[in-house]
Structure 1
Amino acid sequence: MEVILKQDMGNLGYKDDIVTVKDGYARNYLIPQGFAINATAAAKKQHSEILKQRQHKEEKVREEAAALAEKLADIKLTIGAKTSSKGKIFGSVNTIQLAESLNEKGFNVDRKNISIKEELIKEVGSYTATVRLHKEVKVEIPFDIVAE
């Protein structure tokens, strides 16, 4: 029996996959638990339409992310931090400060999408952060940490 999965199922498949399973498994477990629906001709047609719409939306989001990535590639951030006389930072600089600096420049980027190779930056210098705008679009942003 063919079913359309409504959510990711461990070793069976991912959401919106059409998979073939034994009749009893589908009727007694997958369908009653809400993990799948029967893959009738009408359900398959509706499923293909939903996938087309989702693909179109995904393409639009990816294009917007690519346009934002082009703008972000030209930016160089400078973040001020209180330091000791030896150049050590009191505390550390992390993704929160980077996200705030990007927001000040007009780019609304969530800090969870920013990653720094060095987890916590404790010295003045030049570094690079990776901003993940979309699952397929990433951009590297150089930034400097300077003493205030």
Structure 2
Amino acid sequence: MKVILKETIESLGIIGSEVNVADGYARNYLLPQSKAIPATPQNRKVMEQIKVRVQAQIAKERAIAEELAALLSQISITISAKVADEGKLYGSVSVQDITRALQDQNVEVERRQLLLPEPIKAIGIYKIPVRVYKGVEPEITVEVVPAT
């Protein structure tokens, strides 16, 4: 089913774009939550009329995201963990640990924005990308050190 997005949805697209989604996803989630409208000729005309506002909102969201990206790219956090032999950790450093360390520095980032493919299991310095906006992914520096 073709729908027009009324807000930016990370996995689908930006506000005002026309996307093709599964019928059930549209009927059960997007339409009842008012996140999208059916892509009918009448709705396309309405969206064309408000496209100027949509473009301004996209530009505003992107500018805010780029400011946040500049801030995040300068952030470096240190996490101490118990270490076993050869620099391996007893546990692992997960997304929750990184989020908590960022909150200690008064930086609010949602867990799903951190693109950590797998938990960190060794000491060292890691670059973790953060998805702030579509196409804007700064990297934060995470240093895992042995706990004393």
Give the TM-score normalised by structure 1: 0.69
1:16 CA displacement: 5.2
1:115 CA displacement: 1.4
2:44 and 2:67 mapped to 1: Cα distance? 35
Larger Rg: 1
1:6 aligns with 2:36: no
RMSD over aligned Cα, in angstroms? 2.4
User: Unaligned regions of 5+ residues in structure 2, if any?
Assistant: 6-12, 19-36
Write out aligned runs for 1:23-34 (5 A).
none
Aligned length: 119
1:75 CA displacement: 1.4
Write out aligned runs for 1:94-133 (5 A).
94-117=94-117, 119-133=118-132
Give the TM-score normalised by structure 2: 0.69
Counterpart in the other structure of 2:136: 137
1:139 and 1:93 mapped to 2: Cα distance? 20
2:45 and 2:133 mapped to 1: Cα distance? 29
Contact kept, 8 Å, 1:62 with 1:136, in 2: the verdict is no
Identity across matched positions, percent:
29
Q: Which has the higher strand share?
A: 1
1:129 CA displacement: 0.3
1:87 and 1:44 mapped to 2: Cα distance? 58
Deviations 1:58-77 (A, max 9, x none): 21111111001111111111
Decide whether aligned partners of structure 1 residues 116 and 6 sit closer, same or farther in structure 2, where only a CA change above 3 A counts.
closer
Partner SS, residue 132 of structure 2 = strand
Contact kept, 8 Å, 1:93 with 1:121, in 2: the verdict is yes
Partner SS, residue 107 of structure 2 = coil
Counterpart in the other structure of 2:79: 79
Partner SS, residue 116 of structure 1 = coil
